[in-house]
């Protein structure tokens, strides 16, 4: 099956990035959200990011105009159902994702492929609640989507070969690289990355170092482009905690126990950059460590 149209459910940080790269690669994109404000903000951000690419001579003005012309926004879930490929990019809460797929079901064509951008939730379990587990798989983009080159493709236990091949062809057309992952908690990237971040939070919690020294140590000592606590703020501490809970619950291993300090920050609503406070306070001109 050749995919020509893509429906993206969720216009947040990941959804608008997915819409951006899909439209730039020639796909007709329908972007959906429950709030018109979110759709307006997403379109404004996509326009800003495309303009930046033009100014840096990454793309032409014609490319930019064509991409924007291929994106439409809608609050109507039925309008998404007519797409060849649907990518769910809503919040990392399983019950929300189930509701989205249930509301899509009456509007889907028989050949439509359903995917989730989940960073950790079982693809097999999500697929089992749909009418097409063989046409369902994980399509996990990295953040920020226009910049990051990797896409994790995750097959559930029922995913058929044609579905995988169709999604792989999309990744190739985007000019990105696919990594095939088995359907185990957090897949590949977050199975390695998020426990490292959690360990950095434990290092802070136990007083081994402060925020600045931990991040500096990993940037200069391990040549990481961003310190683990700075990266946690970028990802969102609520997302980091959610993934740690998926690992802890799914693998039943105490090494995946979320650090109590990470839980405390999330309880405080200090979720990182998106709330202006996390391991750093972003409300001033320069980020200031909070511990």
Nearest to 143 by CA among 257, 39, 272: 272
Instruction: List the strands of the sheet with 5-9, edge to edge.
Output: 71-74, 28-32, 5-9, 85-88, 113-116, 136-141, 150-155, 177-181
Check: CB of residue 142 under 8 Å from CB of residue 113: no
pLDDT, one tens digit for every residue, the chain (291 residues): 789 999 999 999 899 999 999 999 999 999 999 999 999 999 999 999 999 999 999 999 999 999 999 999 999 999 999 999 999 999 888 999 999 999 999 999 999 999 999 988 999 999 999 999 999 999 999 989 999 999 999 999 999 999 999 999 999 999 999 999 999 999 999 999 999 999 999 999 999 999 999 999 999 999 999 999 999 999 999 999 999 999 999 999 999 999 999 999 999 999 999 999 999 999 999 999 999
pLDDT at 1: 75
Known binding residue 33? Answer is yes
Q: Is residue 148 a known part of a binding site?
A: no
Sign of the four-CA dihedral 138, 239, 92, 87: negative
Determine whether 152 is an active site residue. Answer: yes
User: Is residue 230 within 8 Å of 243, Cβ to Cβ?
Assistant: no
What DSSP designation does 3 have? -
Catalytic residue among 20, 83, 116, 152: 152
From 119, 120, 122, 198, active-site residue: 119
Q: Confirm whether residue 227 is marked as ligand binding.
A: no
Under CATH, what is the fold of the domain 191-289?
A: 1.10.1040
Catalytic, out of 117, 190, 198, 230: 190
How many CB atoms are located within 10 Å of the residue 208 CB? 12
Residue 14 labeled ligand binder: yes
Query: Considering 83, 140, 198, 230, which one is annotated as catalytic?
Result: 140
4 is in an annotated binding site: no
The response to whether 97 counts as a known ligand-binding position is: yes
133 SS3 class = helix
Tell me if residue 286 is catalytic: no
Nearest to 92 by CA among 275, 280, 241, 213: 241
Q: Are 11 and 42 in contact (CB under 8 A)?
A: yes
Is 140 designated active site? yes
Distances, alpha carbon 85 to alpha carbons 10, 129, 148, in Å: 14, 18, 21
Q: In this predicted structure, what is the pLDDT of residue 90?
A: 93
* Residue 55, annotated as binding a ligand: no
Query: Is there a binding annotation on residue 284?
Result: no
From the options 3.40.50.720, 3.40.190.10, 3.40.50.1100, 3.20.20.70, give the CATH code of 5-182.
3.40.50.720
Q: What does the pLDDT read at residue 204?
A: 98
Domain assignments of the chain as residue spans, ordered by start: 5-182, 191-289
Q: What is the pLDDT of residue 45?
A: 97
């Amino acid at each position: 099956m050749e995919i020509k149209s893509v429906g993206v459910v969720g216009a947040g940080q990941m959804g608008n990035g997915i819409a951006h790269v899909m439209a730039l690669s020639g796909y007709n994109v329908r972007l959906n959200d429950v709030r018109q404000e979110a759709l307006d903000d997403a379109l404004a951000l996509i326009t800003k990011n495309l303009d930046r690419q033009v100014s840096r001579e990454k793309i032409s003005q014609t490319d930019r105009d064509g991409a924007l012309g291929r994106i439409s926004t809608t609050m109507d879930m039925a309008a998404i159902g007519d797409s060849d490929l649907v990518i769910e990019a809503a919040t990392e809460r399983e019950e929300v994702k189930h509701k989205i797929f249930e509301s899509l079901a009456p509007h889907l064509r028989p050949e439509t492929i359903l995917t989730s951008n989940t960073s950790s939730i079982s693809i097999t379990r999500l697929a089992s609640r749909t009418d097409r587990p063989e046409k369902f798989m994980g399509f996990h983009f990295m953040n920020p989507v226009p910049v990051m080159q990797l896409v994790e493709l995750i097959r559930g236990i029922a995913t058929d070969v044609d579905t995988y091949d169709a999604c792989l062809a999309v990744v190739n057309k985007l000019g990105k690289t696919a990594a095939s992952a088995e359907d185990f908690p957090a897949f590949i990237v977050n199975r390695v990355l998020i426990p490292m971040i959690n360990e950095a939070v434990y290092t802070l919690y136990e007083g081994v170092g402060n925020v600045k020294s931990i991040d500096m140590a990993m940037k200069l000592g391990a040549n990481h482009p961003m310190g683990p606590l700075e990266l946690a703020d970028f990802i969102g501490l609520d997302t980091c905690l959610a993934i740690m809970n998926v690992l802890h619950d799914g693998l039943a291993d105490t090494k995946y126990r979320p650090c109590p300090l990470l839980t405390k920050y999330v309880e405080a609503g200090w979720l990182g950059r998106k709330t202006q406070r996390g391991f750093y306070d972003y409300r001033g001109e320069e980020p200031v460590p909070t511990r």
